[in-house]
């Protein structure tokens, strides 16, 4: 199987909101959801903080100038360290804030439930504190674990702090039983949140997430990354599926990859792609429809199918620890 370090294969038969497509003609534009990881180093120096804020501003400007939406995942560190910068975003855009851990180095699965719920609760409080009194309100509904590292205690903690969706899944790589190929969000059985899978692509025969840092570390040029994004958008449109892409400010906020982001957004605009944040994508999955700012409405024809089973977690890099009961 294909995986990143410390990734867990989440096996379960879940409430089957099997979204094989949205009720739309074949020539409908793709639905694109940009997931942005504000990946600031743990305990950064003053210079590293300045660089991170500049990278964040670069990514934000590309999205804002086209009046698009996206989801920005914040660790507690970045929420506290860049609060004034972040407070401006809800004033001028529809970018959604979501939480991660305390730092990008968090290994949530190594912590017990009490440690996890406290850490995630503080991260949520920090993200929501970026609001401006009597002007803006920030309500955090989404979550993505650092390095996709999570376990059943993480799931329970998410329920306890009121999180509605978890983007710590990858199409065909981290998934629930019966949902290996699913790219639409689906509800996790026994929990209150939805799984939101990141899109995946094949690279040298290996299935990997559509994730800028991963591609950068593989040595893909910005041109190759652009071609991959374009191909995925065209494929998503043809299949009637969303394109969920994970970006980091450390990669897509700099140099050639920043240029690629701008070029991809231009291409998506030329194809009339519709951008939604994570919360919007889950709304489609939960209700079967979503009215967007353009006045268009998407309808799901396969929502509401039932299914149930027990949740189990398999650690793929240690097969001898094959299953942990819920």
Is-contact 213 251, C-beta < 8 A? yes
Is-contact 98 278, C-beta < 8 A? yes
Sheet holding 289-291, edge to edge: 22-23, 297-300, 289-291
Q: How far apart are CA 99 and CA 245, in angstroms?
A: 17
pLDDT class of 225 with cuts at 50, 70, 90: very high
Helix-then-strand count for the chain, H and E: 10, 17
Please provide the DSSP assignment of 203-240 as one string: ETTEEEESBHHHHHHHT--HHHHHHHHHHHHHHHHHHT
Please provide the DSSP assignment of 147-213 as one string: GG---HHHHHHHHHTT--EEEEEETTTB--TT-TT--S-EEPTTSSPEEEEEPEEEETTEEEESBHH
Average pLDDT over residues 153-168: 97
Q: Give the pLDDT confidence score for residue 28 in this predicted structure.
A: 78
Identify the burial level of 32 via C-beta atoms within 10 angstroms of its C-beta, where 0-12 means exposed, 13-18 middle and 19 or more buried: buried
For the chain, percent of residues with pLDDT exceeding 70: 80
Average pLDDT over residues 201-211: 95
Q: Give the pLDDT confidence score for residue 134 in this predicted structure.
A: 81
Give 237-261 pLDDT, tens digit per residue.
999 999 999 999 999 999 999 999 9
pLDDT class of 286 with cuts at 50, 70, 90: confident
What value does the mean pLDDT of the chain take? 84
For the chain, percent of residues with pLDDT exceeding 90: 70
> How many other CB atoms are found less than 10 A from the CB of residue 257?
23
246 versus 43: which is more confidently predicted? 246
Asked if the model's pLDDT at residue 288 lies above 90, the reply is no
pLDDT class of 27 with cuts at 50, 70, 90: low
185 versus 133: which is more confidently predicted? 185
313 versus 37: which is more confidently predicted? 37
Contacts of 172 (CB under 8 A, 6+ apart): 180, 181, 200, 207
Q: Give the pLDDT confidence score for residue 298 in this predicted structure.
A: 58
Q: Give the pLDDT confidence score for residue 115 in this predicted structure.
A: 98
pLDDT class of 66 with cuts at 50, 70, 90: very high
- Widest distance between CA atoms in the chain: 54
Structure tokens at 128: 């929501």
Q: Give the pLDDT confidence score for residue 112 in this predicted structure.
A: 98
pLDDT class of 29 with cuts at 50, 70, 90: confident
Q: Give the pLDDT confidence score for residue 307 in this predicted structure.
A: 34
With CA atoms as reference, report the closest residue to 97 among 123, 124, 71, 136: 71
Q: What torsion do the CA atoms of 252, 258, 260, 264 make, to the nearest 10 degrees?
A: 80
Q: What torsion do the CA atoms of 161, 242, 292, 265 make, to the nearest 10 degrees?
A: 110
Q: How far apart are CA 13 and CA 167, in angstroms?
A: 18
Q: Give the pLDDT confidence score for residue 300 in this predicted structure.
A: 52
pLDDT class of 308 with cuts at 50, 70, 90: very low
Report CA torsion sign: 85, 87, 89, 95. Answer: positive
Structure tokens at 307: 């299914």
At 97 the three-state DSSP class reads: strand
**Domains of the chain from N-terminus onward:** 8-319 (3.20.20.370)
183 versus 299: which is more confidently predicted? 183
Q: Give the pLDDT confidence score for residue 61 in this predicted structure.
A: 97
Give 93-141 pLDDT, tens digit per residue.
999 999 999 999 999 999 999 999 999 999 999 999 999 988 899 999 9
Please provide the DSSP assignment of 240-277 as one string: T-EEEEEEEHHHHTSHHHHHHHHHHHHHHHHTT-EE--
Side-chain-side CA neighbours of residue 257 (13 Å): 22
Is-contact 36 70, C-beta < 8 A? yes
Structure tokens at 190: 């026994």
């Amino acid at each position: 199987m294909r995986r990143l370090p410390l990734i867990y294969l989440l096996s379960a038969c879940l409430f089957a909101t099997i979204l094989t497509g949205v009720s739309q003609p074949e020539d409908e534009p793709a639905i694109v959801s940009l997931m942005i990881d504000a990946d600031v180093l743990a305990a950064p120096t003053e210079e590293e903080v300045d660089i991170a804020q500049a990278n964040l501003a670069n990514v934000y400007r590309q999205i804002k100038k086209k009046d698009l939406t996206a989801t920005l995942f914040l660790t507690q560190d970045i929420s506290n360290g860049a609060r004034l910068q972040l407070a401006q975003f809800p004033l001028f855009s529809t970018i959604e804030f979501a939480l991660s851990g305390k730092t990008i180095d968090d290994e949530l699965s190594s912590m017990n439930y009490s440690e996890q719920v406290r850490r995630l609760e503080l991260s949520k409080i920090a993200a929501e504190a970026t609001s401006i009194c009597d002007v803006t309100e920030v309500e955090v509904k989404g979550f993505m674990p650092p390095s996709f590292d999570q376990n059943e205690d993480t799931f329970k903690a998410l329920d306890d702090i009121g999180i509605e969706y978890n983007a710590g899944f990858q199409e065909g790589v981290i998934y629930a039983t019966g949902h290996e190929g699913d790219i639409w969000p689906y509800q996790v059985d026994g929990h209150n949140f939805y799984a939101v899978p990141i899109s995946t692509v094949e690279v040298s025969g290996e299935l990997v997430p559509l994730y800028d840092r991963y591609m950068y570390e593989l040595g893909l040029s910005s041109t190759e990354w652009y071609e991959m994004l374009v191909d995925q958008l065209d494929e998503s449109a043809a299949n009637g599926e969303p394109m969920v892409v994970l970006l980091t400010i450390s990669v897509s906020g700099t140099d050639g990859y920043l240029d690629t982001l701008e070029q991809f957004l231009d291409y998506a605009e030329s194809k009339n792609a519709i951008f939604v944040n994570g919360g919007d994508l889950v709304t489609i999955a939960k209700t079967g429809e979503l009215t967007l700012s353009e006045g268009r409405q998407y309808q799901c024809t396969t929502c509401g199918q039932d299914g149930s089973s027990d949740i189990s977690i398999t650690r793929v890099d240690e097969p001898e620890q094959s299953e942990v009961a819920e």
